[in-house]
Amino acid sequence: MKKITLLAGAVLALGMSVSAQCQLPPVWKNVAEQKIQKTDERKRVYITPTRIVWKSSEDKSIVDNEEQLLKSGIGQSVLGSSHVCRLKSSNGQKASLLFDFGKELQGGIQIITGQSPVNKPVKVRIRFGESVSEAMCDVDGKNGATNDHAMRDFETMLPWLGVTELGNSGFRFVRIDLLDENVELQLKEVRAIFTFRDIPYRGSFRSDDERLNQIWMTGAYTVHLNMQQYLWDGIKRDRLVWVGDLHPEVMTVNSVFGYNEVVPKSLDLIRDETALPNWMNGISSYSIWWLLIHRDWYYYQGNLDYLKEQQSYLTGLLRLLISKVDKSGREHLDGTRFLDWPSNANPTAIDAGLHSLMIMAMKSGSELCTVLGENELAYECEKTYLRLLKAGKKVLKPVLKSGVAPDAPGSKQAAALMALSGVMLPDDANEKYLLVNGANGFSTFYGYYMLKAMAAAGKYEEALDIIRSYWGGMLDMGATSFWEDFNMTWLDNAARIDELVPEGKTDIHGAYGDYCYKGFRHSLCHGWASGPTSWLSEYVLGVQIVEPGCRVVRIKPNLGGLKWVEGTFPTPFGDIKISHKVQPDGSVKSDIDAPEEVRILTD
């Protein structure tokens, strides 16, 4: 098997083909009582380590021939092979190795062992890490390291002359430790098992700024990693369908992969698990996000039959939301009142954000009800929308004038939603909040909506600068996928995640994080952080969906100081090919090649 090196996000570079459909052996046909589940949609490939980051001893009597493990293998133990790495424990020293597989992966580890001198199993400890320091740490109850959602730190026995496959987590680094005294472990191969959906990257983005190109691809890859059986929030922790967090992910799916079953599967799962009048995930705003996702999914994919499957639940949800609005137009949502974690300590911001989300929900609800022939409910949504909008401008405006920004609502999250909902002018939102202190105060989840609010004010160049510094800041720290949270202040004197933390440097993984993701519990692959990918496709490449199913698409580029940009965009009818180049006179020349079924507007 050839050695495979992953490029950031470029799973296609592996040359993977679509897996053939699995057929059961004939013997299974007569086992009537056997309940056979659908085969897994995902594919597995084996990845050879790119380097040995660390070993416990330079003494060859403890660790010898570890370079062998960097060679591509065959996944088969061989009797009497001399091509092995030998790990030994003697005189109180126990051998350990730390492997780097080059990129963040979802999956496990395969260990092929040689012939033990005593022909007995050997006890080892396995630790997975999204950073070097996480793979080197202990679960001590203080540093945040856990086995929540996935076992990333455990002990096991390895056979002699055997193949063992272990683990199911998100990781890049793996540490293996001998645990017993006076033993020898022969390692023939250690390979990561990469589990993913074998799908093409139909969307693309390239420009004269390689940093932006890398950010676009890293966001795409982050979501791809989370497209497992369902669309997860994170591959190490939060391997769950958090439906509010799904909105930025779904927009990335729309922009990169086009239609994929993982989206409707996930939307239907949370719908079926949440009987009305309960809120999805116990959070009122997340039920709103389910509605907004359906609106966008319908516009990008145009599947009316699927939308009709949601009709009963969708109309029930809209009636529930309408019941939470009083005659004056104020919302009274119950359940957990939540936007994102960084704004969680600011109830004023949460109130403003939820009011704005309700406005967006009623507008989307009116559109969807009209499509579904629910004209009376569409009218109720429109009336409630106008009542909420009027109340928002009346009630929230005095709050905005209470001082010099940023004051109250005190968060860029709320300001972004207020601009997008029409409560606040986008120019005001940018001047008073979004542009203040640049990328400081951005968040990985709501950063997408902050960027959209900047675009609404025409601040494309400023938005690109924030993308370069905020999301690019994670890349500077060695990230190959985007994180659950990030703060620009973390960069001060920080060590990269792909190195042992030097003396005097700050461990950016172990030292930071907040709320439920402190220290090593912090996820370094979170799909909600992929916002720049779909944003760059929509606003810089300029793809705006005008009619459901991409039947009418407006191409309106905003290069923001770039000299050229080109790329592709997936539609249900095929991919649109787009190229924009700045001419000597400052004008932009565009070349667009679209499927015949897609009408292109360039006004």
Residue with tokens 């793809």: 543
Residues 513-538 have pLDDT tens digits of 999 999 999 999 999 999 999 999 99
Residues 54-68 have pLDDT tens digits of 999 999 999 999 999
User: Do residues 306 and 264 make contact, with C-beta atoms less than 8 angstroms apart?
Assistant: yes
Output the pLDDT for position 81.
Answer: 74
Domain of residue 133, residue span? 11-196
Q: What is the mean pLDDT of the chain?
A: 92
Phi and psi torsions of 302, nearest 5°: 70, 25
Query: Six-digit token pair at 52?
Result: 């040995």
The helix/strand/coil state of 156 is strand
Residues 433-486 have pLDDT tens digits of 999 999 999 999 999 999 999 999 999 999 999 999 999 999 999 999 999 999
Give me the long-range contacts of 279-283 (CB less than 8 A, separation at least 24).
279/335, 279/336, 280/243, 280/244, 281/242, 281/243, 281/244, 282/335, 282/336, 283/244, 283/335, 283/336, 283/338
Residue 267 to residues 242, 247, 446, Cα–Cα distance (Å): 10, 11, 20
Residues 397-443 have pLDDT tens digits of 544 444 333 334 678 999 999 999 999 999 999 999 999 999 999 99
User: Does the pLDDT value for residue 395 go beyond 90?
Assistant: no
More confident site: 148 or 2: 148
What's the mean pLDDT in 198-208?
A: 98
User: Do residues 105 and 4 make contact, with C-beta atoms less than 8 angstroms apart?
Assistant: no
Task: Name the CA radius of gyration of the chain, rounded.
Answer: 26
Output the pLDDT for position 25.
Answer: 74
State whether the Cα torsion 373-379-380-381 is positive or negative: positive
More confident site: 38 or 40: 40
Give me the long-range contacts of 502-505 (CB less than 8 A, separation at least 24).
none
What's the mean pLDDT in 126-148?
A: 96
Output the pLDDT for position 34.
Answer: 60
Give the number of residues written for the chain.
603
Output the pLDDT for position 361.
Answer: 98
Q: How far is CA 484 from the centre of its chain?
A: 8
The helix/strand/coil state of 528 is helix
Angle at 163 between CA 160 and CA 169, to 5 degrees: 125
Q: How many DSSP H helices and E strands does the chain contain?
A: 14, 19
Output the pLDDT for position 402.
Answer: 41
Nearest to 186 by CA among 52, 60, 64, 50: 64
What's the mean pLDDT in 259-287?
A: 98
* CA atoms lying within 13 Å on the CB side of residue 15: 4
The helix/strand/coil state of 467 is helix
User: Residue 399 domain-assigned?
Assistant: no
Q: How far is CA 19 from the centre of its chain?
A: 24
Return d(Cα 185, Cα 89) in angstroms, integer: 9
Return d(Cα 371, Cα 374) in angstroms, integer: 8
Residues 161-194 have pLDDT tens digits of 999 999 999 999 999 999 999 999 999 999 999 9
Query: Six-digit token pair at 361?
Result: 């929900």
Q: Give the chain's domain count.
A: 1
% residues pLDDT > 70 (the chain): 92
User: Does the pLDDT value for residue 18 go beyond 70?
Assistant: no
DSSP string for residues in 98-155: EEEEEEEEEEEEEEEE---TT---EEEEEEEESSHHHHT----SSS----SSS--EEE
Output the pLDDT for position 231.
Answer: 98
User: Residue 540 domain-assigned?
Assistant: no
User: Does the pLDDT value for residue 2 go beyond 60?
Assistant: no
How, if at all, do strands 204-207 and 564-571 pair?
antiparallel
Residues 87-121 have pLDDT tens digits of 999 888 999 999 999 999 999 999 999 988 888 99
* CA atoms lying within 13 Å on the CB side of residue 227: 29
Return d(Cα 230, Cα 205) in angstroms, integer: 26
User: Does the pLDDT value for residue 215 go beyond 60?
Assistant: yes
DSSP string for residues in 33-73: T--PPPPPS-EEEEE--SEEEEES-S-TTTEE-GGGGGS--
Nearest to 547 by CA among 504, 588, 601: 601
Q: Percent helix, strand and coil across the chain, each rounded to 5?
A: 35, 20, 40
**Residue 15's CATH number:** 2.60.120.260
Angle at 474 between CA 478 and CA 177, to 5 degrees: 40
User: Residue 579 domain-assigned?
Assistant: no
Nearest to 297 by CA among 271, 340, 263: 263
